[in-house]
Structure 1
Amino acid sequence: MAELIQVGTDTPLFNYTCWTELLEIIVTPAGKVDYTLLMQHHNLLQRFITELGTVSPDTAPDRFPTPEHALAYWINAYNAFVLAAVSAEYPVRSVWKVRDGQFFTRVQHSAGGVTLSLNDIEHRVLRGRFHEPRIHFALNCASNGCPPMRPQAFEPTGLQQTLHTATQQFLASEWNCRIDHAQKKIFVSRLFRMYAEDFAGTADSTLEYRHGVLRFVAEHTGEPFETLADYAIVYNIYDWGLNDAHRDPQLRPITFHESVETFHAKDGVLRELYLYDGNFCNRACSWCTVFGSPQGWYQAHTTRVLDSALATVAQDGNIKFYGGEPTLHSESLLAAMRYLRARGFSGLFTIYSNGVKARTLIDLLDSDLQSEAVLNYSIYLGRDAEPLPTSAKALLEAWGREHPMRLFTGYKVLYHVGAGVDMVFDRDREPDYHALAGCVLCFPVLKSTGEFHACPLAIENPAPHFQLGDVHTPAATLFNNYQAFRTWAVTVLDPAARERQITSCAMCQKRLAELPDYRSLLPEAPLPANSPNASRRPGTH
């Protein structure tokens, strides 16, 4: 059992001696974990886990007399439970590669006799109670993108200084924070994107969130905030590879894509907009959400449509081109990109592609330095789809190595939408396996035919529930309609899907007529800006 120490005569306080003893053995100078040594000294880990299970700040508050005592307990508990979960399945390449995919949501960790998941500890306890953003530089979820593992326990005494030092050490790494004054850009860890609200407080606009992150960075790096205030933030790729001392971090040349924009009610303008020009495609995948095929339709984006996009999306936001296969109409796509640039759009272009026409895709990316491409996961890896031709894959990977953070793959989930509505997928490709059974709240779509649609996955579904307006609809009305749709998805769609024990995507495809549409919510307020299903992966480091 972990030792207890006395304060006064009657109050035994929690002590982390055995936890520190283990950490000093298994943590390398670089902050990685030697899992071979962990397995050899598993008795120390089990001893600490047992002690965590007997007492917690909730069940024995007298043993945790200050907020620092409680905070130290939960930080150490999280890190210990992570090691226990990894060791149960080691060797494993990533926490996302565990047998059931539920590494963070599995309810199996006992704290004071109460069984919790890692998400419970991080989000409900640590983030929910303490409102301390520096926990993100203390928690370690066994991934290379996490802060280094500390070789000692986090102790209550001096905890504030320990967290301050941990934050400074994290930001001292160029991969976690690099300021390019010449380009007026700051490159930071994606942790700042995942948990922007923790660094920015109650802000509810993109500008306020950006300034909140920049103030935090300025405070902990010594850079004046006034210098950074108008700098663009670039979020680095997050490396989910296991933080194994015996395995070098190795990012693929083409890594998983994560969007950088989030909806905020006070923005008053969309931060992201999809542009859809039809489902004409050189592939006909059985699960395609838009029914893409060589028999599909195509219509180029007109200047009227592009002008409407400019009026609707933030000038420094993200415009995403998809179909169908955009590279089949590369001249039209290039003309659209140039038209938008010439009229003041300074943000990011994202092109969704199957990558078959690799040279064409690369030419499009080379034409605009503020562009990126996302390859279809199934086609790129040859899983549940005809694989990418070997020559195309080699060409794209070579370009990706030379141009980091420009070429990505999409997520592995296959949604029950479009052609895949009735298909049964491998378990690790099902949305609920990744805690994505609810609406993922994507940003809306402007079709080349002139209509605004609420969902890029259900774009071929003409139901009124998705209709936000058209190119003649004022931008403010479109924004309000989309905000109402988000509220409808969270308060009407998701509960109805849960009641019927299906995903929200399946609900939209099969039983949408049973529900009123979002217009029923328009006269009412407030309309929540964000929800637990916001467009990002389940909350983790």
Structure 2
Amino acid sequence: MPRLLACLLLFFSSLVLAAPKADLWPYWQQHNASSQKVVDHQRWQVLLDKYLVVQPKQTLFRYKAVSDADKYELDRYLRDLGAVDPRQLNRREQFAYWVNLYNALTVQLILDNYPLKSITKLGGFFSFGPWDEKLVTVDGQKLSLNDIEHRILRPIWRDPRIHYAVNCASLGCPDLQPTVFTASNHQALLDKAANRFINSSKGVSPSGSSTRLSSIYDWYGSDFGSKRQLQAHINQYRQGSPVTLGKVSYDYNWSLNEAK
């Protein structure tokens, strides 16, 4: 029995450490550069305005307070997004579409399973979280959160700031932004999200010659480049003294980002 337990612990540890690679799903690569179509994200904005609590060091969500009527509005918003063919949008509109879809699906997933202490408690017995579950159908294709992040967003846009935009409902995650992503604001919002995370202790925490970084920089190191490139990226947004990445450790808090 101890041997079996050790094997299970090793298995689950490998699940945590093995972040998915960016692997393009070619079906979603198409876009319409001349499209002027604008996707309406107002329902999602209303929910953020009502239930997101922005604190100086952490953004939290009031899951327990969400009314049945607003749960319906969230479901309606997601059904509306599912009825859109994002391949007919321009790239800017597509980016906002996928990020908002990811974040709204994550909130709905928590609400559907509330109360819980961590999103990692969801999924099957041999799963670390629900990220591979098919949660939405878009243009006849069933999609998971991992599909959206690692098979669409990361390989198409190749922008490390994507990791600051998608939210996994955890305290260690970059904050859920209080403003929905749109075609016109997404670049400024990505910079704002990067700035907030990098200047938070959960993102970058220097102490003498050592620096504790979010595990995001370990899991997705290929997106940030070499240690020198990562250091330049961090210092691009870092306020105060620049960070030198000498001795580095990593940490992540999977507790639910809930406002009590």
Sort the TM-score into its range (normalised by shorter chain).
Answer: 0.7 to 0.9
1:86 and 2:105 aligned: no
Tell me, yes or no, if the aligned pair for 2:105 and 2:135 is still in contact at 8 Å.
no
1:46 and 2:75 aligned: yes
Render the CA deviation track for 1:453-474: whole Å, top value 9, x for unaligned: xxxxxxxxxxxxxxxxxxxxxx
Counterpart residue number, 1:121: 148
1:196 and 2:200 aligned: no
Counterpart residue number, 2:52: 27
Larger displacement relative to structure 2 (151-160 or 72-81)? 151-160
Q: Provide the secondary structure at the position in 1 that maps to 2:86.
A: coil
Matching of residues 287-436 of structure 1 within 5 Å:
none
Render the CA deviation track for 1:402-448: whole Å, top value 9, x for unaligned: xxxxxxxxxxxxxxxxxxxxxxxxxxxxxxxxxxxxxxxxxxxxxxx
Q: Give the Cα–Cα distance (whole angstroms) in 2 for the partners of residues 44 and 126 of structure 1.
A: 25
**Matched AA of 2:248:** I
Q: Provide the secondary structure at the position in 1 that maps to 2:38.
A: strand
1:234 and 2:244 aligned: no
Counterpart residue number, 2:174: 147
Aligned residues: 219
Q: Alignment identity in percent?
A: 28
RMSD over aligned Cα, in angstroms? 2.0
Q: Provide the secondary structure at the position in 1 that maps to 2:66.
A: helix
1:11 is displaced (CA, Å) by 4.6
Tell me, yes or no, if the aligned pair for 2:102 and 2:148 is still in contact at 8 Å.
yes
Tell me, yes or no, if the aligned pair for 1:20 and 1:153 is still in contact at 8 Å.
yes
1:98 is displaced (CA, Å) by 1.9
Counterpart residue number, 1:68: 92
1:163 and 2:212 aligned: no
Q: Give the Cα–Cα distance (whole angstroms) in 2 for the partners of residues 111 and 22 of structure 1.
A: 22
**Matched AA of 1:241:** S
1:156 is displaced (CA, Å) by 1.4
Q: Give the Cα–Cα distance (whole angstroms) in 2 for the partners of residues 193 and 213 of structure 1.
A: 10
Q: Provide the secondary structure at the position in 2 that maps to 1:188.
A: strand
1:224 is displaced (CA, Å) by 7.8
Q: Give the Cα–Cα distance (whole angstroms) in 2 for the partners of residues 80 and 234 of structure 1.
A: 31
More helix by share: 2
Displaced runs of 4+ in structure 1, greater than 4 A?
222-225
1:89 is displaced (CA, Å) by 1.2
Change (3 A) 1:99 1:193: closer
Q: Provide the secondary structure at the position in 2 that maps to 1:178.
A: strand
Tell me, yes or no, if the aligned pair for 2:199 and 2:239 is still in contact at 8 Å.
no
1:186 is displaced (CA, Å) by 2.1
Q: Give the Cα–Cα distance (whole angstroms) in 2 for the partners of residues 99 and 193 of structure 1.
A: 23
Counterpart residue number, 1:175: 202
Q: Give the Cα–Cα distance (whole angstroms) in 1 for the partners of residues 41 and 96 of structure 2.
A: 10
The TM-score normalised by the length of structure 2 is: 0.78
Larger relative contact order (CA 8 Å, sep ≥ 6): 2
1:120 is displaced (CA, Å) by 0.6
Change (3 A) 1:21 1:124: same
Q: Provide the secondary structure at the position in 1 that maps to 2:113.
A: coil
The TM-score normalised by the length of structure 1 is: 0.39
Q: Provide the secondary structure at the position in 1 that maps to 2:137.
A: strand
Tell me, yes or no, if the aligned pair for 1:179 and 1:185 is still in contact at 8 Å.
yes
Q: Provide the secondary structure at the position in 2 that maps to 1:119.
A: helix
Tell me, yes or no, if the aligned pair for 1:25 and 1:37 is still in contact at 8 Å.
no
Aligned partner of 1:97 among 111, 117, 121: 121
Change (3 A) 1:161 1:193: same
Q: Provide the secondary structure at the position in 2 that maps to 1:240.
A: coil
Q: Give the Cα–Cα distance (whole angstroms) in 2 for the partners of residues 97 and 24 of structure 1.
A: 27
**Matched AA of 2:80:** E
Q: Give the Cα–Cα distance (whole angstroms) in 1 for the partners of residues 64 and 240 of structure 2.
A: 41
1:221 is displaced (CA, Å) by 1.0
Change (3 A) 1:193 1:43: same
Render the CA deviation track for 1:176-203: whole Å, top value 9, x for unaligned: 21223xx322222111111111111xxx
Q: Give the Cα–Cα distance (whole angstroms) in 2 for the partners of residues 233 and 133 of structure 1.
A: 19
Counterpart residue number, 1:278: none
1:99 is displaced (CA, Å) by 5.4
Tell me, yes or no, if the aligned pair for 1:39 and 1:87 is still in contact at 8 Å.
no
Tell me, yes or no, if the aligned pair for 1:105 and 1:118 is still in contact at 8 Å.
yes
**Matched AA of 2:152:** V
1:222 is displaced (CA, Å) by 5.2
1:114 is displaced (CA, Å) by 2.0
Change (3 A) 1:117 1:42: same
Q: Provide the secondary structure at the position in 2 that maps to 1:126.
A: helix
Unaligned stretches of 5+ residues in structure 2: 1-34
Render the CA deviation track for 1:377-402: whole Å, top value 9, x for unaligned: xxxxxxxxxxxxxxxxxxxxxxxxxx
Q: Give the Cα–Cα distance (whole angstroms) in 2 for the partners of residues 57 and 155 of structure 1.
A: 14
Q: Provide the secondary structure at the position in 2 that maps to 1:149.
A: coil
Q: Provide the secondary structure at the position in 2 that maps to 1:109.
A: strand
1:219 and 2:248 aligned: no
